[in-house]
Amino acid sequence: MKIGIVCYPTFGGSGVVATELGKALASNGHEIHFITYSQPARLDFFSENLYYHEVSMAQYPLFDFSPYESALASKLVDVVKFEKLDLLHVHYAIPHASVAYLAKQILASHGINIPVVTTLHGTDITLVGKDKSFSPVVTFSINQSDGVTTVSESLREQTLEYFDVNRDIRVIPNFIDFSRFHNKSKEHFKRAIAPGNERVITHTSNFRKVKNTQDVVRIFKRVNDVLPSKLLMVGDGPERHNTEELARELGVSQDVRFLGKQDAIEEILSVSDLFLMPSSSESFGLAALEAMACHVPVISSNTGGLPELNVQGISGFLSNIGDVDDMAKHAIHILEDCDRLQVFKDAAFARAQEFDLAKILPLYENYYEEVVSAS
């Protein structure tokens, strides 16, 4: 098929899923056209089946806000028409689903039918989308899409609860590419990070409020009081400063490393013993899946789609949002005994295999076929 993919080209989960999906579809023989305002962060390999179309914005003094939606809709019309695309797959509802609807209407006036699949990723529904300033547009564009997917059953239920949606929604979970995410031997790195063979605990995120990065430090403090340990904080964002401050206040800053944004996340995960994800909202938890693929068990909150990924007492543990004592208790339970730690590591890896790209890719391909033949 010839598929247009619209996404945020940043390191955010929806952009990562869209880009990895596009790369996998291209490897499977589909012709993939990324349409976005800059080259997607993970679009880092060459394939004769991959194309990138940049949405360029005209600057004009009248515009206090750049009319990105109009520029994107015009680009979609142009690419669908001239590349003769079979389908548009847009990731993250705002503004991509409504822009795709507009492009679809314009193309219809030229006698071209382009089916649109919208994938809802999380905050487009749970935080931003249900805000009154967006919800009429989000509701309308979900209902008008030819196909809609969510990344978990929980997100599907939340979409039906928050919005007046009258259509089927297909659940297709996040996936993992084991050719990149696997346990790599990084003994020299481990010795540099944990010279006294301390346990290594890791958190990766975009440090937004929803990630509860301060809870990560609070959990670590409790673990660090009883077990020699190091905390690696990967990523950057609005909460980083407060989180660093808290590490100083709690007297653990000598054992906490803030590494900023990192590309080779799988190398950091390979030296980790435990992953922390205490988010207050998480539609799936791709970062936790990446950890599990590298044999790292997960301590998470029990919100959103996390219980569909992290299995209580098997791949890790789940606790109520904000219950840092419970999370710390479980972390210590996993980390204090080498044999038990190994059992959790093996089980985390086994659970991650359920989300192997090779299993999830056909779900998207079959869904595309269904949508195209129905429209």
Between 246 and 286, CB nearer to ligand GMT: 286
Of 112, 123, 115, 3, residue with least CA distance to 51: 3
Instruction: Give the pairing type, strands 87-91 and 50-54.
Output: unpaired
List the one residue from 34, 51, 92, 355 that touches ligand GMT (CB under 6 A): 92
Q: How many CA atoms lie within 13 A of 202 on its CB side?
A: 32
150 binds ligand GMT (CB under 6 A): no
Q: How far is the CB of 289 from ligand GMT (least distance, A)?
A: 8
286 binds ligand GMT (CB under 6 A): yes
Q: How far is the CB of 222 from ligand GMT (least distance, A)?
A: 24
310 binds ligand GMT (CB under 6 A): no
Length of the chain: 375
Task: Check whether the bond before 307 is cis (ω within 30° of 0).
Answer: no
User: Are the C-beta atoms of 293 and 175 separated by less than 8 Å?
Assistant: no
Between 122 and 297, CB nearer to ligand GMT: 122
List the one residue from 4, 13, 40, 95 that touches ligand GMT (CB under 6 A): 13
Looking at residues 316 to 335 of the shown chain, list those that interact with ligand GMT (rule: CB under 6 A): none
CA distances from 72 to 8, 90, 94 (A): 12, 12, 12
Between 284 and 344, CB nearer to ligand GMT: 284
40 binds ligand GMT (CB under 6 A): no
17 binds ligand GMT (CB under 6 A): yes
List the one residue from 4, 95, 122, 297 that touches ligand GMT (CB under 6 A): 122
239 binds ligand GMT (CB under 6 A): no
| Residues binding ligand GMT: number (CB under 6 A) | 18
Q: How far is the CB of 210 from ligand GMT (least distance, A)?
A: 5
Q: Give the contacts of 202 (CB within 8 A, at least 6 positions apart).
A: 231, 232, 234, 268, 269, 272, 274, 275, 276, 291, 296
Region of 96 (left: φ > 0; alpha: ψ -120 to 50; beta: rest) is: alpha
Q: How far is the CB of 282 from ligand GMT (least distance, A)?
A: 4
Burial of 356 (0-12, 13-18, 19+ CB in 10 A): middle
List the one residue from 154, 174, 224, 272 that touches ligand GMT (CB under 6 A): 174
Between 74 and 242, CB nearer to ligand GMT: 242
Between 93 and 200, CB nearer to ligand GMT: 93
22 binds ligand GMT (CB under 6 A): no
Of 145, 159, 152, 12, residue with least CA distance to 89: 145
List the one residue from 12, 22, 147, 316 that touches ligand GMT (CB under 6 A): 12
CA distance 55 to 38: 8
Q: How far is the CB of 21 from ligand GMT (least distance, A)?
A: 10
DSSP letter for each residue of 100-168: HHHHHHHHHTTT----EEEEE-SHHHHTTTTSTTTHHHHHHHHHHSSEEEESSHHHHHHHHHHS---S-
Q: Is 99 helix (H, G, I), strand (E, B) or coil?
A: helix
Binding site for ligand GMT (CB under 6 A): 12-14, 17, 92, 121-123, 151, 174, 206, 210, 281-286
